[in-house]
Structure 1
Amino acid sequence: MFSGSIPALVTPFCDGAFSEKHFRTLVDWQIEQGSSALVPCGTTGESSTLSNAEHHRVIEICVEQAAGRVPVIAGCGSNDTTNALLHLNFSKKCGAAAGLVVAPYYNRPNQDGIYAHFKMLTEKNDLPLILYNVPARTVTDIKPETVAELAKLPTVAGIKDASGDLSRITEHRLDCGTDFCLLSGVDELSLAFNAAGGVGAISVTANVAPKLCAEFQAACASGDYDLARDLNDRLYPLHKALFSDASPGPIKYAMSRVITGFPTELRLPMTPPSEASCNLVDAALENAGLI
């Protein structure tokens, strides 16, 4: 259903408020540069600091500005199943193609609870779901056997896997079938992820390097791994630098270096990246030929 380079979009803020102007410009640029889908209100979009009204407005603007040119996978995750359903219902109503739903965080449900969370969402809303497994942030881990059971539900279409465990790609491919969409959630592992059967990435780096990330994914899809390795070598320092301090601080700084006037503002408790982190980002942008 989804493949290629899919940016997990940042949410631009100016004077504490969501900047629709900058976000619309970002959506257009991403599509022009070759991104194959867009994810508003993911982790990189600082969704945990958005009110529900803001969360829904960001999704609405993304769908409106994309105008059918690429699909929008709306971030709909919450540690509250009822609130995740609220996001899904809104996303379907405004025209999103799917919902990206992270494993419930903070509550620490067991595997039965994780399954019940997603099952309830599929029973109450028929929008396709992309599971999002990122144990480093959520503490909970959607185990491969749970993913296999969830894949049997009619609207569960795939997974964004940020577990860092490359062996899971093969497990998911074997257990969930060829129609189950496998997307990397860790940019620096995307080369190996695709070689093992992945079809793309929901990416932080694609915010600032959409054309390079799209070319990298296209090379993987065509089986040209010599080109894919060359592109990955250009991108790899950037993948690492963007997590040299708390994300999304470094990626917003990187975007301000590439897009004139792009706001770097963050919402507390996030603070600007350190000078050392900014220096790493600058060097990585130069290596990638972006500045």
Structure 2
Amino acid sequence: MISSQPPAVPDRASEQVPACATRSLTTLAQAQLAHGRRQPAVALLRAALLGVDPITAPPRPDLNAAARLYAETLHAHEHGNWQSLRWARYAHQASTDVFGVYDERTVDAARTLARVLAAYRLDDAAITLRRLIVAQLTDRDGPASPGVLAARMDLAITQHAAGHCPAAIAGLTRTWRQWRRQYGDADLDSVAMVLQLAAMLDACGRYDEAARRTVQAWRAYRTPVSPGGRVPARLSVEWLTTSHQRHAGLCRSTRPPSRLAGAFDPLRELVRALRPGGGAPDHPLRRARTWREFLP
């Protein structure tokens, strides 16, 4: 059994941990996170990165893995001195140097850095990086690949959270239309994109459009499928997390937030079906906590 108590971290910050120990500590931290134990994982990762300066450290695969996980696990401003941002930048640069820009580990590090930049409200830098991810994945996999479409959705979410609402809504609409042409309206990821679009429209006070999109998503989800069932969800995207209260100031919407899904009780069934243990446990809608502000 994995202990829930944080391990003791050495006091001598000048001594670096050997590479093999760094890898072991990172693996243990991943196990802690898998059990929902963030604080022990943070302590393990701090021990793994003991004595390492993210500004001057050389690129090493073991440090890169620990740094990326540490940056992902920390909350913004936790431990002071912009630690999560420093380690996210190190992980991205180290991955680029060691594996190259097209390696999936580098792409993952770039996604982590983009999330951290957005958490620190460095929105322009986050949007620029999201655009770079889209461009690199397009070069590697082609413009119609699921990874590129997922990256474009992440870009739209980042733009929306920064207050670039027209660009975000237009970009997500284009992405969804391309996805539905390839996979159909009833595809789980197509449903998720429509709901994401409805959430954006609702946050911006465009209630009629949001309501139409919500009904559209519900009807698509209820569309009969082949006897083989639905194709498992392909995307792993971030769900909209900007609160209505803050977003209203960003996009200058003067309309109060609605309780959109309250008018559409069947949406509860859709959200439940896409939660862990439901019909699609790996689907992005598993992060249903965001939709609680829409549900009664």
Answer yes or no: same fold by TM over 0.5: no
Q: Relative to total residues, which structure has the larger helix share, 1 or 2?
A: 2
- Larger Rg computed on CA atoms: 2
Q: Which has the higher contact order (CA 8 A, sep 6+)?
A: 1
TM-score, normalising length: structure 1: 0.28
TM-score, normalising length: structure 2: 0.28
Q: Relative to total residues, which structure has the larger strand share, 1 or 2?
A: 1
